[in-house]
Amino acid sequence: MLYAVHEAAYYSATPVRLASQFARDFWSSPFNPAAASRLGRTLFAAADVTANMTRRYGKPAWGIDSVEVNGRPVRVHMETAWRSPWVKMRRFWRDPADLRAAGAVLDTPAVLVVAPLSGHYATLLRGTVQTFLQDHDVYVTDWLNARDVPIVEGRFDFNDYIDHVATMLREIGRRAHVVAVCQPGPPALAASALMAQDDDPLRPASITLMGSPIDARLAPTVTNILAEERPFSWFESNMIYSVPPPYGGAMRRVYPGFVQLYSFMSMNAEKHQEAHKRYFNHLVIGDGDSADKHREFYDEYLSVLDLTEEFYLQTVDVVFQRYLLAKGELDHRGRRVDLGAMRDIGVMTVEGEKDDISGVGQTQAAHALTPNVPDDRHELYVQPGVGHYGVFNGRRFAEEIYPRVRDFIARNEAVSAAP
């Protein structure tokens, strides 16, 4: 019912949205002599804020066309290397001719960036992908919106997620390096362990876990406490809804992205209110650069996707309530996941000092859980002064975190390539 109410609210706001868009166009028109006046700019700002608050935010484009290598621009091409009804594995590759002109190495390590399936699109990692492209052949899991997947395609659960990660690693065709950002840490680590148990020749050469709840019992945050205090039945009863027509996944039971979004925004309501007040003032005074940065952030932040019922509920149960991977009790399709089987897969963890989603300690728990990985292939790093988002994006990531991850990957690439 909530999903239907949400859709009804969107369509009922159509007159307000259209009127605001008309007013915005009117007060920004170069043919309007009053557009540059204080009153004109104020009315334009009010109309723009209203139009943006009532519109639909679709999936943003990747928009990665080039990257700088050795101080020279190198064209970037994107292709779909593998797909299922639930994901498109995107490959971003740098133009060989441009790399030669830049004097760069052509044969570089392959990195699989496992994006979160937790409410936002994988494009949230655009900056992460672009940074890794400086030195790597990059693949990324571009998860699809469950509301658009026809119900005849069946289920997608925690075990399917693990299988997808393993399948994509095999599709890359050589030992790649996994970079799991936030939510995918536990299933990506499980997939790596299962491939190690099978002595799979395409098991990852390393795995880097960034701000991930490997052991959510440690340094619990507000999110962890909520998941622990509420009974599992509460999540079943209050977080799951049926997709209404006309979406392709009509009648599929999902955890709606807008529920996740409202939850996160309510945790920082004052911060978002202040951001929109500043945006309004930037429009009034004509500060276009600041206004553009605000729009760029919220175009991404307000774009959300739905998760299948079974994947969401199993994640709550396995990761946040029973801590099965951390306790060595996770079974995958009747088979125990043995992290001790990882012996030649490097493990790096990256955490943010001010992370209020995955507290410091939750990610680095992976080191104790993989005791058979040689000490020189473990690396633990806590970035001072950043929160959850800063662990994988922004200036501090590019300047302080990424160089460490790059060097870690390079060391493990050399070891895995040695005869």
Q: What is the DSSP letter of 144?
A: P
Does 87 map to a domain? yes
Both 186 and 276 in one domain: the answer is no
Task: Report which of 396, 414, 301 is spatially closest to residue 351, judged by C-alpha positions.
Answer: 396
Both 79 and 174 in one domain: the answer is yes
Both 294 and 274 in one domain: the answer is yes
Taking the C-alpha atoms of residue 213 and residue 204, their distance in angstroms, rounded to an integer, is 20
Both 131 and 222 in one domain: the answer is yes
Rg (CA), the chain: 23
CATH of the domain at 399: 3.40.50.1820
What is the residue-level pLDDT of the chain in tens, covering all 419 positions? 788 887 888 888 889 989 999 999 998 898 989 888 999 899 999 999 898 888 888 899 999 999 999 999 999 999 999 999 999 999 999 999 999 999 998 899 999 999 999 888 999 999 999 999 999 999 999 999 999 999 999 999 999 999 999 999 999 999 999 999 999 999 999 999 999 999 999 999 999 999 999 999 999 888 888 888 899 999 999 999 999 998 999 999 999 998 888 877 877 788 888 988 999 999 899 888 998 988 888 888 888 999 999 999 999 999 999 999 999 999 999 999 999 999 999 999 999 999 988 999 999 999 999 999 999 999 999 999 999 989 999 999 999 999 999 999 999 999 887 66
Does 259 map to a domain? no
Does 253 map to a domain? no
Q: Which of 257, 285, 301 is the last residue of a domain?
A: 301
The pLDDT assigned to 419 comes to 63
Q: Which of 277, 301, 325 is the last residue of a domain?
A: 301
- Between the CA atoms of 397, 399, 401 and 402, what dihedral angle is there, to the nearest 10 degrees? 90
Both 297 and 376 in one domain: the answer is no
The pLDDT assigned to 260 comes to 82
Both 281 and 329 in one domain: the answer is no
Taking the C-alpha atoms of residue 359 and residue 353, their distance in angstroms, rounded to an integer, is 8
Taking the C-alpha atoms of residue 47 and residue 94, their distance in angstroms, rounded to an integer, is 42
Give residue 253's identity as a one-letter amino acid code.
Answer: R
Sequence-ordered list of residues with C-beta below 8 angstroms from that of 318, at least 6 positions apart, any chain: 158, 186, 324, 325, 330
Both 281 and 210 in one domain: the answer is no
Taking the C-alpha atoms of residue 303 and residue 280, their distance in angstroms, rounded to an integer, is 21
Q: Which residue has the tokens 């099978």?
A: 198
Both 36 and 72 in one domain: the answer is no
Burial readout 282-305 (b: 16 or more C-beta within 10 A, e: otherwise): bbbeeeeeebeebeeebebbbbbb
Both 99 and 134 in one domain: the answer is yes
What the block records as the tokens of 369 is 């859980």
What the block records as the tokens of 193 is 């362990």
Taking the C-alpha atoms of residue 189 and residue 206, their distance in angstroms, rounded to an integer, is 10
Taking the C-alpha atoms of residue 117 and residue 112, their distance in angstroms, rounded to an integer, is 15
Both 159 and 287 in one domain: the answer is no
Contact present, 325 and 158 (Cβ < 8 Å):
no
Q: Across-strand partners of 207?
A: 178, 347
Taking the C-alpha atoms of residue 133 and residue 137, their distance in angstroms, rounded to an integer, is 6
Does 312 map to a domain? yes
Contact present, 145 and 305 (Cβ < 8 Å):
yes
Both 226 and 357 in one domain: the answer is yes
Both 225 and 100 in one domain: the answer is yes
Does 260 map to a domain? no
User: pLDDT tens digit string along 3-16?
Assistant: 888 788 888 888 99
Q: How many domains does the chain have?
A: 2
Does 99 map to a domain? yes
| pTM (predicted TM-score) | 0.92
Contact present, 301 and 62 (Cβ < 8 Å):
no
Taking the C-alpha atoms of residue 52 and residue 317, their distance in angstroms, rounded to an integer, is 36
Query: Which residue spans within 36-117 are E strands per DSSP?
Result: 66-69, 72-84, 87-94, 110-114
Does 361 map to a domain? yes
Q: Are strands 110-114 and 87-94 parallel, antiparallel or unpaired?
A: unpaired
Domain of residue 22 covers 7-56+269-301
The pLDDT assigned to 377 comes to 97
Does 236 map to a domain? no
